[in-house]
Structure 1
Amino acid sequence: MKLTHLMTAVLLTAGLTATAGAQTASTLKKVADSNKITVSYREASVPFSYLIGSKTSVGFSAELTEAIIDDVRKKLKKPNLEVSYMPVTSQNRIPLLVNGTYDLECGSTTNNSARGKDVAFAINHFYTGTRLLVKKSSGIKNYADLAKKTVASTTGTTNAQVIRKYSADKKLDMQLILGKDHDDSLLLVESDRAVAFAMDDILLFGLMANSKNPASLEVVGDSLQVEPYACMLRKDDPEFKKLVDGTITRLMKSGEFAKMYAKWFTSPIPPKGVNLNLPMSEELKANLKALSDKPAM
């Protein structure tokens, strides 16, 4: 019995060591050894990463992902590197990255200090804040109008935490319900199960533009906070972070980043050819020079 317990303890320790090793192993070595990189995409984060009737995502972040993949190919001297694309949600994107299921996420993920305990972030590539998507007929113009009403947000997002805290701080007694993804949360408003959808304003504009009846919806309310978006990668992997930061730096310094921004934020975008008309924010303009990966608090 003692020997059995000893063997079990040894095997358990070996297993935990192997898991820890897998989590801290170099992403570039992992990719080189397998000749494959696995990247994630979002299905409804317009205009960053979204589907338009196929299994291939499009969007601003999707193009960032492809630029990073090209630099991985060059770094590893593997022009025929296999690429696997994996859909993730707000809820599962961090655990699946941490456990090694995929290697890189460029979507619509906020870079904040809490998440920084589990993952690393590249240079910030967008800045946004929580606002509200409502029906024009609702009469809701700001957060005080939401007292004792049902409000939607999306599972696993910082916005759900922000709106819950705001409601408690202001004693508004909102009833918060969570959609499994952004399309699901939008449906809660369209079907009158919620009077508002609290989310990053840029995602709300994108969802509204591609909704069934855009003219019936509007984005209202003050921005509750400013949060940066950044590509997400595993912690304690300085070699891969240097490569990802290098790609974003090159795009920002060359002017290619500004062209990509214009394509997705101030030009007609698929599938309906709607123009979001969202000029680059002052925070983002400043970061084209600062190249900061500073998180939101």
Structure 2
Amino acid sequence: MNIENKVLLDKNSSAKIFNWLNMCVFLVSGLFASVAQAQLSKTIESITKTHQINIAYRDAPPFSYAASDGKVVGYVIDLCNVIVSDISKHLNIPDLKVNYIENKYLPERDALLRQKKVDMICSVNANVNEWKTIADYSSPYTYSYTRFATLKNKKISSIDQLAGHTVSVTSGSVDALALNQTNRELGLNLFVMTTPTMEKAFELMRSGKTSAAFINDISLKEIIEAQSDKNLFSISDKGVGKPQFFVILLPHDDTEFKSLVNQSLCKIRKSPDFGKIHDIWFNEPIPYLKLNLQTPYSKEMDKVLTQFDDCLRTGR
């Protein structure tokens, strides 16, 4: 990812992020009394013993990325930082250290989970059934659809026009799952080239080696906005498959730790200012970058997210 060499945040954006996160920490204080009585989980035991928590991330703005000064930032990173602050208070570990582990390629994610090298994966991950054998999921915090990008001069606007073509997608991604299912259901006879990153899938399309690149629409818009010749590309109007609900990946079968994470995340989700936190990353210049995705939090987004979000239904 081409990160702009801008080290200092815009003062207004920085102040907004600081204020909203402090607000969220205040709101979630005192939520963990019931969980405290439960037997400590292995994850909590490890955190208590080492005074450290391990968080994996991928280079996927605006969700998570390492800026030019090495600082790990992003929308879901902000949410995870609030959760870490709450866990620190709950466990009475004021010096709790966060170790960020770069999950450079998607296939590495599964190994990190199976080998229990991370406590949370804070990046672009959806709550699909295929991963439930190796991870638990937090409540969802946003959603998107898989869409495809093409060169405008190819004049491809629907997936039916791609029948028999070669397309690209990130290996092991929810986009690959959606693409493969659609390919089977519609009998498109697509030849699918898999890549280790979203950027490489896009580059194959850009170079003409594939006719289309399938990527979640949020990341796809960010990738195109970062191109100097962004007007050469188009994004499909219709999504492929069902909505992808993004979650934080957690250790498998650790219900106590999952409960701590969800209590914090759900309180943020229920806050009337949740949309404003979203807009810091999606409707303003992305910190450290020159990009603005111009995607404000809308009533439609809130309606879709609430429909599949158990936070508001359970009252957590």
Aligned residue in 1 for 2:305: 284
Distance 1:53 1:284 in 2: 32
From 108, 128, 142, the counterpart of 1:126 = 142
From 116, 119, 139, the counterpart of 1:100 = 116
Asked whether 1:180 is paired with 2:196, we answer: yes
Distance 2:64 2:228 in 1: 19
The 8 Å contact of residues 97 and 104 in structure 1, kept in 2 or not, is answered as no
* TM-score with structure 1 setting the length: 0.84
Distance 2:180 2:159 in 1: 12
Aligned residue in 2 for 1:14: none
Asked whether 1:71 is paired with 2:86, we answer: yes
Asked whether 1:42 is paired with 2:58, we answer: yes
* TM-score with structure 2 setting the length: 0.79
Asked whether 1:269 is paired with 2:286, we answer: yes
The 1:222/1:152 distance shift into structure 2, 3 A limit, reads same
1:271 to partner: Cα distance: 4.2
Paired amino acid for 1:68: I
Asked whether 1:143 is paired with 2:164, we answer: no
Paired amino acid for 1:94: D
- Matched residue of 2:82: which SS? helix
- Structure 1 unpaired stretches of 5+: 1-23
Residues 120-161 of structure 1, C-alpha deviation per residue, up to 9 Å, x if partnerless? 111111111111112222211110111221111001112112
The 1:50/1:198 distance shift into structure 2, 3 A limit, reads same
1:267 to partner: Cα distance: 1.7
Paired amino acid for 2:281: W
Distance 1:97 1:107 in 2: 14
Distance 2:216 2:154 in 1: 20
RMSD, aligned α-carbons: 2.1
Residues 210-235 of structure 1, C-alpha deviation per residue, up to 9 Å, x if partnerless? 23422222211411221211111012
The 8 Å contact of residues 252 and 288 in structure 1, kept in 2 or not, is answered as no
The 1:168/1:238 distance shift into structure 2, 3 A limit, reads closer
The 1:176/1:287 distance shift into structure 2, 3 A limit, reads closer
The 1:179/1:59 distance shift into structure 2, 3 A limit, reads same
1:249 to partner: Cα distance: 1.6
- Count of aligned pairs: 269
Distance 1:96 1:117 in 2: 14
Distance 1:134 1:53 in 2: 29
1:114 to partner: Cα distance: 2.3
The 8 Å contact of residues 41 and 256 in structure 2, kept in 1 or not, is answered as no
1:50 to partner: Cα distance: 2.0
From 56, 59, 65, the counterpart of 2:71 = 56
Structure 2 counterparts to residues 229-268 of structure 1, below 5 A: 229-268=246-285
- Matched residue of 2:157: which SS? coil
The 8 Å contact of residues 164 and 188 in structure 2, kept in 1 or not, is answered as yes
Rg: which structure is higher?
1
The 8 Å contact of residues 42 and 57 in structure 1, kept in 2 or not, is answered as no
1:118 to partner: Cα distance: 2.1
The 8 Å contact of residues 124 and 292 in structure 1, kept in 2 or not, is answered as no
1:290 to partner: Cα distance: 4.2
Paired amino acid for 2:125: T
Q: Percent identity?
A: 25
1:272 to partner: Cα distance: 4.0
Distance 2:153 2:313 in 1: 41
1:259 to partner: Cα distance: 2.0
Aligned residue in 2 for 1:7: none
1:104 to partner: Cα distance: 0.3
Distance 1:291 1:105 in 2: 23
